[in-house]
Amino acid sequence: MNPFMERRWRDVHLNLIAFIRSELGVELPESYSALAEEQVNVIGGDAGVYYPDISIVDEPWKRGLPPVWTPEHESGVERVVAEPEIVNVETPPERWIELRHDDGTLVTVIEVISPTNRESGRLAFLTKRRDYIAAGVNVVEIDLLRQGRRLIDLDARDYQRRFPNAGEHYTVCAIRAGMPDRREIYICPLRQRLPVIRIPLRPPDPDVPLDLQKMLDRVYESGRYWKLNYQEPLDPALPEAEQSWVAEQLNKSGFAA
C-alpha cells in the first residue's frame, strides 16, 4: 500500500471497488454475479435506505438561510436574530460489492472501508455488518486506511497480543455466514505486498482468490498517482522505522526532494 494515496481516498475507493468488481466478475463461478452497489442512508425515515435515481436541486434560498419571523419584544424593541456560521458537510454515498447467486440470494458483501465508516458513520456501519451476519451473508472488509479507529471487533489488548509485531499495517477481515463468531484476519504490513485473499461463497462452492496488490496497482496506474506531492509529510506521521523505509522507497523511485 502506498500511504500517500490516502490523500485522494474518494478516487481510490471508487476505482478500487470498480476493479475488484471487474476482477471477480471474471473469476466467479458461472452461477454467481458481482454487482457494485451504492446507497444513501437516511436516519429517522421509515424506509431507512434509499437508492437515488435522480438528484433534484432545491430552491436557491435553501443553500443559505430561510427568512425568519421577528416579532417585536414586549418592550417594543425588535429582536435581533443572530446569524450562524454556515459550514457545508460532505456526506459521500456508501459503495460496496455484492456477490449474488443466480437464484437471487445475496451471498457475500465486500466493503472497502472509508474514513466515514471508521468515524462519523461507525455505528451505522457496525449495525449494517451485524444485520448482514444475522441474515446469513458473508462479509469481507478491506481496510487500507491509517486515519481513524480500526473496525475489527477485537478488544485492543487482545489485538495487540495476537499481532504484537505487525508494525504499521493495514487489515482485511472476512466473516463467514456459517461461522459468525470467527474472524479471518489478514495483517498487511506497510513494507510487504498486499496479499491474495479468500472471498467466501456459499458452501460447497470454493473460495475465490482476490489479488489486492494487483487491484491497487491498477488504481495507482489509472489514477496517475505518481503525480502526488511526496514531499508533504504524512498525517498521521509514520513511526520512525517506517519513515526511514518510505524515504528509501521514494529515493529509489525518484520521488525524493
CATH of the domain at 203: 3.90.1570
Boundaries of domain holding 173 = 3-42+92-229
* Position 35 in a domain: yes
Distance, in Å, from the CA atom of 50 to the CA atom of 32, rounded to the nearest integer, reads: 25
Burial class (CB in 10 A: 0-12, 13-18, 19+), 201: buried
Per DSSP, the residues of 163-178 read: STT--SEEEEEEE-TT
Distance, in Å, from the CA atom of 110 to the CA atom of 132, rounded to the nearest integer, reads: 11
- Give me the mean pLDDT over the 1-29 stretch: 94
* Position 234 in a domain: no
pLDDT of residue 129: 93
H/E element, 39: strand 32-41
Q: Nearest to residue 19, comparing CAs of 243, 254, 255, 215?
A: 215
What's the pLDDT tens digit per position in 25-57? Answer: 999 999 999 998 876 444 333 434 433 333 333
Q: Given its phi and psi angles, is residue 149 left (phi above 0), alpha (psi -120 to 50 degrees) or beta?
A: beta
- Strands 184-189 and 196-199, by their bridges, are unpaired
Distance, in Å, from the CA atom of 1 to the CA atom of 193, rounded to the nearest integer, reads: 7
* Position 184 in a domain: yes
* Position 79 in a domain: no
pLDDT of residue 241: 85
Distance, in Å, from the CA atom of 98 to the CA atom of 86, rounded to the nearest integer, reads: 38
| 65 vs 120: which has the higher pLDDT | 120
pLDDT of residue 46: 40
| 6 vs 57: which has the higher pLDDT | 6
- Give me the mean pLDDT over the 182-199 stretch: 94
| 256 vs 34: which has the higher pLDDT | 34
What's the pLDDT tens digit per position in 97-112? Answer: 999 999 999 999 999 9
Q: Is the pLDDT of residue 87 over 80?
A: no
pLDDT of residue 42: 41
Per-residue confidence at 62, pLDDT binned at 50, 70, 90? Answer: very low
- Give me the mean pLDDT over the 130-140 stretch: 93
* Position 74 in a domain: no
The pTM for the full model equals 0.81
For 92-225, list the strands marked E by DSSP. 94-101, 106-112, 138-143, 169-175, 184-189, 196-199, 208-211
* Position 149 in a domain: yes
* Position 193 in a domain: yes
- Give the count of domains, the chain: 1
What's the pLDDT tens digit per position in 146-190? Answer: 988 899 988 888 888 888 877 789 999 999 999 999 999 999 999
Q: Nearest to residue 213, comparing CAs of 28, 27, 20, 29?
A: 20
- Give me the mean pLDDT over the 231-241 stretch: 90
pLDDT of residue 48: 44
* Position 28 in a domain: yes
